[in-house]
Amino acid sequence: MSIPSGLKYSKTHEWVKVEGGVGTVGITDFAQHELGDIVFVEAPQPGDAVSAGTQMGTVESVKAVSELNSPVSGTVAETNDALVDHPEFLNQDPYGNGWIVKVTLSNVKELEGLMDADAYGKYVAESGH
């Protein structure tokens, strides 16, 4: 399972990579593996407000519907439209082509409440997986 360093992770298995006040958000390799084949992604659109720890969309695999939470608060700057036709990017490249939204952060301090790669690795291991 891949957990790149340099990203921040939420307990609900989203990652965020922050560059210049903008956070790119996706789901982790662990999450995509648990879900199985992802066939549908419903994400907020540019201009939508998102709030840390709150549902901002839905990720559906063949068998299951899963809530997509935002790990950060702010305004959506960009949505990965490629996922409309290629939801499988979340399985194939969760930290790359499978990014979901870019959010202009409204509260950078929130990032302190998220885990780094080491802490997330332990969190996943400890939750029995």
The structure tokens 């700057």 sit at: 77
Q: Out of 39, 49, 77, 111, which residue is the one contacting another protein (CB under 8 A)? A: 39
Q: Out of 40, 46, 113, 119, which residue is the one contacting another protein (CB under 8 A)? A: 40
* Residue 37 interacting with another protein (CB under 8 A): yes
Which residue from 31, 111, 40, 28 is spatially nearest to 74, judged by alpha carbons?
111
C-beta of 1 vs 65, nearer to another protein: 65
C-beta of 65 vs 108, nearer to another protein: 65
Contact 79, 43 (CB under 8 A): yes
**Pairwise CA distance, residues 52 & 107, whole Å:** 10
Coil, strand or helix at 5: coil
* Residue 108 interacting with another protein (CB under 8 A): no
Coil, strand or helix at 97: coil
* Residue 62 interacting with another protein (CB under 8 A): yes
Count the site residues for another protein by CB under 8 A. 11
Q: Out of 1, 65, 119, 125, which residue is the one contacting another protein (CB under 8 A)? A: 65
**Pairwise CA distance, residues 27 & 51, whole Å:** 16
* Residue 78 interacting with another protein (CB under 8 A): no
**Pairwise CA distance, residues 57 & 75, whole Å:** 14
* Residue 63 interacting with another protein (CB under 8 A): yes
- Applying CB under 8 A, which residues contact another protein? 36-37, 39-40, 58, 60-63, 65, 84
